[in-house]
Structure 1
Amino acid sequence: MTEQDVARVLKRRGALPALMTAVGIFVALIVLGFLGATFSSLAVIADPVVDGRFFGSIWSTQLVGSLAGPLPIALGVFLCFWQIAPIAASLRLGHVVTRAVLAATVGALLLFVVTLAYALAVWGIEVAGSMLGSTDTSGPTSPAVLAFRSLSVLVNVLPVVVLGAILLWGWLQRHPLDYKVSGTLDEV
């Protein structure tokens, strides 16, 4: 890829609608995650057998998970809707849905890469700790396990991404852009 190709890709128009859609999807996933954590917390509080300290751990886990899951998904959606397969007003509904599935898949792939890098980093820290006398070296989470977790996230976020793509498509039909929207998928 030459410098001219990189410059052409970076100058591709349509970043703002893709960014706004990705931000909306990110916010929706965060809100859904916190609502799920709230209901889980309420179920824990209502159970007299479970200790109340568990309530705090649910929220701390949700806070860490909210950035680890929805952020890579939203970044993948943004990159896909801007560079790979943008949504245009002239598309048919079927094309919008398939592009949304592609965007969610790109996000899940990005999530897999991020979690794999994190798992390897944690494993590296554990190995270094074992050299200094620590005994816990369980090894990194298997890539297959991470892949299945990413697929699980893909299934869970797919309706939100499809809804975001359909809303973007409807908005673009009511507010036509003054330029042609195209991505890498359209140039093939």
Structure 2
Amino acid sequence: MELILCWMMIALQLNGIHTEGIHIKTFGTGTNVSLLCSNRTFNTLIMEKWNIERRGGDDCWVGFLSENNGTNSTCDSRITIQQKSDHVILHISPFKPSDEGNYTCQTHFSEGDESAHFHVTAESNVNASEVQHRQPPQAGIIIWMVCSFGALLTLIVLSSVIIWGKVQSKRRKKLGEHPGYGTIHHIY
């Protein structure tokens, strides 16, 4: 059963269906940070909201309503939602260690909803003029590797059982045994 679920996860990843995961981002302090919730274009956007749970407990949210290009926020003025070309982004300027935490966005489009989760950390030894974007290997690749190993292990075990069964069957035939009946004696 796990193997079937594993292959389904691989198929979803390969087909590009949105699966939720946590993006891990590390930024240098003092930098300008931008987070993109969705790759969909602005023309079908209805609303976007970011919930920010900071490590220090200073939680806040910021929202954007496309109907009137209006924003609303409980965050300080460094954290805003901005429109960049065809997308809406969360912008933090300048990024501070106190901004570390979990960022969750919910985007509502005319075709449906999307969400994304980010774990954001600060790296103080990074030059303030450069932004570090570090992500672990993509979840799809990790899932593919684990599932491939599981599938290979399953294939080896099943092959071994089949081969062992055939060897035992040939051995019984050579010894004149019949499965379930023991030795067959021929009387002439």
State the TM bucket, normalised to the shorter chain: under 0.3
> In proportion to residue count, which structure has more strand?
2
TM-score for both structures, normalised by structure 1: 0.25
TM-score by length of 2: 0.25
